[in-house]
């Protein structure tokens, strides 16, 4: 017999799965009426958001260290090109708020992939602070500007600004799915860090905090469906950054969005790195088999998306062709690998 808490959790998961599927379906078929919060709550939401910004906003120009360059140059082998990693999305992908290039998520991921692959990795960043999903079309254009230098792997982190600017979820997912489709068609692997749980931000008061959590988790689940259906993989960022926000709210609230500290970026990169390596074929084959002990397995994509949105660090990837119950996905809780700060080679450029 299930207890009350188990039943309630199951019902919440099913409800989130239904909402995510509706949002994703609206994105695919042109719907635009499914929002992230009720219209009656918009006034209260905006009023509390303004109060939160006044309380913790620092009013400074966003600082984003330049981290593009070659990582793992010592692994260079004549005639073997470097792997190419491109970061797309918002301030979280760009690394707003840290002081050194090696602290950005792009640098951490590039250094981590280089160490595991024992091969240099060229990093390029087209992500910009304040970006929403409707900027991804422009960013993808930059990433694919040179057909002879298509990235091997693209990491997208986006969604927080969509929630704070009340972009309709269907529109948000439509832009993200289109970006993933273009990148996959060009030959790049794609990993998306889904919308973080904005309900973990300490200075945000109720009921805004509850609404922010609900909206961001709904969007994260819908993002997962849209990404997986286009051949990408997702990793739930969820409340991974919650402790960072709670410990340093004044420092972590930027003029464009909420952004983490160096420790927060390291935590996010540590969660994303295994999925990036799996997408590149660098992870041990046995790691791709579901482990029942870690509650991994094959699920309808909407159910997998809902579960992932509730548990940070969870990966979702396409698993089977569409069947009577729709597309299926593999839900993985990969073991995280610690990543260490590494600066790019000062004058090195990614190999052609």
Q: Which residues are catalytic?
A: 91, 256, 259
Please tell me whether residue 311 adopts helix, strand or coil conformation. Answer: coil
Q: Is 2 exposed, middle or buried (0-12, 13-18, 19+ CB in 10 A)?
A: exposed
**What angle (nearest 5°) sits at the alpha carbon of residue 131, between those of residues 185 and 246?**
120
| Residue 18 CB burial class (10 angstroms; 0-12, 13-18, ≥19) | middle
Q: How far apart are CA 306 and CA 334, in angstroms?
A: 17
Indicate the burial class of 325 (C-beta count within 10 angstroms; 0-12, 13-18, 19 or more): exposed
Distance CA 286, CA 79 (A): 30
The answer to whether 203 and 56 have CB atoms below 8 angstroms apart is yes
DSSP summary character for residue 231: T
Structure tokens at 242: 């919650």
- Residues comprising the chain, all counted: 352
Q: Please, what's the b/e burial string for 41-53 (b: 16 or more CB within 10 A of its CB; e: otherwise)? A: eeeebeebbeebb
């Amino acid at each position: 017999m299930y207890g009350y808490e188990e039943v309630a959790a199951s019902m919440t998961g099913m409800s989130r799965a239904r909402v995510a599927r509706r949002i994703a379906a609206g994105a695919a078929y042109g719907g635009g009426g499914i929002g992230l919060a009720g219209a009656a709550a918009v006034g209260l939401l905006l009023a509390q958001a303004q109060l939160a910004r006044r309380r913790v906003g620092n009013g400074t120009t966003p600082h984003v260290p330049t981290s593009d360059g070659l990582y793992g140059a010592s692994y260079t082998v004549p005639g073997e090109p470097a792997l190419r990693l491109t970061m797309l999305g918002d301030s979280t992908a760009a690394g707003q708020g840290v002081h050194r290039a090696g602290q950005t998520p792009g640098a951490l991921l590039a250094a981590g992939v280089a160490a595991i692959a024992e091969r240099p990795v060229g990093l390029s960043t087209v992500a910009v602070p304040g970006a929403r999903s409707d900027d991804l079309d422009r960013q993808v254009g930059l990433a694919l500007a040179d057909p002879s230098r298509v990235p091997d792997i693209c990491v997208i982190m986006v969604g927080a600004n969509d929630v704070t600017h009340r972009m309709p979820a269907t529109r948000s997912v439509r832009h993200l799915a289109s970006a993933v489709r273009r990148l996959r068609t060009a030959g790049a692997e794609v990993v998306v860090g889904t919308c973080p749980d904005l309900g973990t931000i300490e200075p945000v008061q109720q009921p805004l905090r509850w609404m922010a959590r609900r909206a961001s988790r709904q969007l994260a689940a819908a993002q997962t469906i849209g990404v997986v259906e286009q051949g990408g993989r997702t990793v739930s960022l969820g409340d991974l950054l919650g402790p960072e926000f709670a410990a340093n709210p004044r420092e972590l609230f930027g003029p464009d969005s909420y952004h983490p500290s160096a420790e927060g970026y390291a935590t996010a990169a540590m969660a994303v790195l295994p999925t990036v390596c799996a997408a590149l074929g660098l992870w041990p084959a046995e790691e791709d088999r579901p482990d029942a002990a870690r509650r991994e397995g094959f699920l309808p994509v909407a159910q997998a998306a809902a579960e992932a949105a509730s548990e940070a660090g969870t990966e979702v990837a396409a698993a089977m062709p569409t069947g009577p119950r729709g597309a299926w996905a593999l839900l993985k809780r990969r073991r995280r690998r610690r990543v260490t700060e590494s600066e790019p080679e000062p004058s090195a450029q990614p190999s052609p």
